[in-house]
Amino acid sequence: MSTPVQRRRASINDVARLAEVSVGTVSNVLNRPDRVSPTTRERVVAAIAELSFVPNGSARQLRAGTITTVGAIVLDIANPFFTDVARGIEDRLTQDDYTLMLANSEEDPEREQRYLRLFEEHGVQGVMVVPSDERIDHLLALRARGVNVVLLDRSSPLDDLSSVAVDDVSGGELAARHLLEQGHTRIAFLNGPHAIRQCVERHTGVVRALEAAGLDPAEALVEITVPSLNADGGEAGTRELLASADHPSAIFCVNDLTALGALRTLRHEGVRVPDDVAVVGYDDVTFAAELGTPLTSVRQPTHALGFRAADLLLAAAAGAPAEQVLFQPELVVRASSTTP
């Protein structure tokens, strides 16, 4: 079978040659059409159409010295938490006519690194990253090559590396303390892998709350690592938990998607919420309040997270010093953990 002929992508030089004008005139037709006579403009537009020429935005921005595209990589684009964060990013970028390139690492460090290389090749002004791994040396190397970096949803370990995050230790404490106040003395924690810093910090918060209540975490905490931070992971983790006859009477979930899966499995198994098992989530995404059993959740300021991260990235591009921003979460109590 013959291999398809790969047509070379038409260049700005091809358009200039076909329209019998200079490359600068083609560039003016694209960027400052008022500077080109109507007849010349028509000839160039006809050549662009005939060659199916697509201007290379990054090259144009690079030539003009005004790179106005930034990249962002989140862990799971299907998680409404990240889509709300992305909205905050975009609302800040559009104030300065910047464009966002959004990517999904699927919690996979190798996929994250592939997107970082792609963004660098495209000549982005900077990147905002929710790291999928504990290590961030690859992000420091990227910054050393001139690409500004802001950690998103993750506190920075370095004073000269900007970050925007929520105090996840406090968030874990809020969730666990609330369940203890409801009378539970053992808590199951459906958590993500400890390679993800947010998961480590939420676990730390749960342990602190148990110890403050005079409980031994080794006895009072049952941590189950879910295979993925979503509803499927929540279902799998809850099935594992219910396999044990003396499972805890309370489940804290690392995020609301995981809690959604937990509620599904509990309902499927005839377990009453909160009478038999109380459930608490994290993020307080839009669906949390709308569920059949409205979900108690640790609210994160999602739009503000994204908006502030973009603000720090644009500030870095203007030469401002790094800044570490830490928001505080709040607990929103609903029917999934309390009886009226």
**Positions in the binding site for ligand RIB (CB under 6 A):** 75, 79, 81, 130, 153, 196, 198, 229, 255, 282-283
The secondary element (H helix, E strand) that includes residue 191 is strand 187-191
Residue position matching structure tokens 């996979």:
108
CB closer to ligand RIB out of 69 and 105:
105
CB closer to ligand RIB out of 11 and 225:
225
By CB neighbour count within 10 A (0-12 exposed, 13-18 middle, 19+ buried), where does 280 fall?
buried
* Nearest-approach distance from CB 272 to ligand RIB, in angstroms: 26
Residue position matching structure tokens 């809690």:
259
* Nearest-approach distance from CB 71 to ligand RIB, in angstroms: 17
- Give the whole-angstrom CA distance, residue 9 versus residue 213: 66
CB closer to ligand RIB out of 63 and 194:
194
CB closer to ligand RIB out of 90 and 283:
283
- Cross-sheet strand order for the sheet of 69-74: 99-104, 69-74, 126-129, 148-152, 162-166, 324-327
* Nearest-approach distance from CB 175 to ligand RIB, in angstroms: 12
* Nearest-approach distance from CB 98 to ligand RIB, in angstroms: 24
Which residue lies nearest ligand RIB, judged by its C-beta? 255
Q: What is the 3-state secondary structure (H, E, C) of 200-234?
A: HHHHHHHHHHHHHCCCCHHHHEEEEECCCCCHHHH
For residue 208, give the nearest of 172, 165, 255 by alpha carbon.
Answer: 172
- Give the whole-angstrom CA distance, residue 126 versus residue 240: 42
* Nearest-approach distance from CB 76 to ligand RIB, in angstroms: 6
CB closer to ligand RIB out of 107 and 311:
107
Residue type at 338 in one-letter notation: T
Does residue 166 contact residue 298 with C-beta atoms inside 8 Å?
no
CB closer to ligand RIB out of 188 and 288:
288
* Nearest-approach distance from CB 198 to ligand RIB, in angstroms: 4
